[in-house]
Amino acid sequence: MTSEASFATRFLPGGHAKHGEKPLIAVDDLTYLTPTQQAFWLAVFEFSQIAGCASNRKHGLRKLWWKMQVLEVPPLPPETATEIVRTYIAKGGVLIESPELYTAHVVRQSGGVPQAIHDMLDASAKERVVDKRHIREMRHDAGVRYFDFTPVMIVAGAGAGLVATHYVALASAQPCSLPCACRSCVEARGEL
């Protein structure tokens, strides 16, 4: 047994659970676990329940991920995110030049992700005064929206294929298989 696993077995069973229940341990971020830490966490799983977050699950930790149930957490609705930001402003004592602009910007840039809201609020709390320039410069990756170009590429590819077929037919002096009305295809079909 590794030193991490022996530590976990000595530390956790020490009367923390009542009436056979496993204690609940909340872990902020499991994303950066290494395979060497896996033995410790597998031992922790034997004596407790784990609730944790991971933005990326490494393949080297498959034994650990098999013991967990994955729950997708949807983003917060804009109304809830707005209320969180307003409460933070009221209780945090942050001087903000335009509170409504700030609130709307944080909600939009966070995409409703609680960690993104926290990151942006924490970053702006370090400023003496949050002015409009600072608000406009605030960014978070959670607020980046992507446009799926797949349908556009399929249509463009099909169009390019049709055009290519037409020009190949022109080069071979054969009419293309398309119901084309260009002069060369009409002549080749003998319809002129």
Taking only the tens place, the pLDDT of each residue in 66-89 is 888 888 878 899 999 999 999 988
More confident residue, 108 or 190: 108
pTM for the model: 0.51
Top-ranked range on mean pLDDT: pick from 35-39, 58-62, 104-108: 104-108
Q: Report CA 66 to chain centroid distance, whole Å.
A: 21
Strand positions, DSSP E, the chain? 24-27, 49-52, 95-96, 129-130
User: What's the rounded mean pLDDT across residues 137-151?
Assistant: 72
Residue type for 163, please? V
More confident residue, 14 or 141: 141
d(C-alpha 54, C-alpha 179), whole Å: 55
At 122, list the tokens. 């924490």
Could you give the percent of the chain with pLDDT greater than 90? 6
d(C-alpha 109, C-alpha 188), whole Å: 59
d(C-alpha 165, C-alpha 7), whole Å: 70
DSSP 27: E
d(C-alpha 182, C-alpha 126), whole Å: 68
At 190, list the tokens. 């003998």
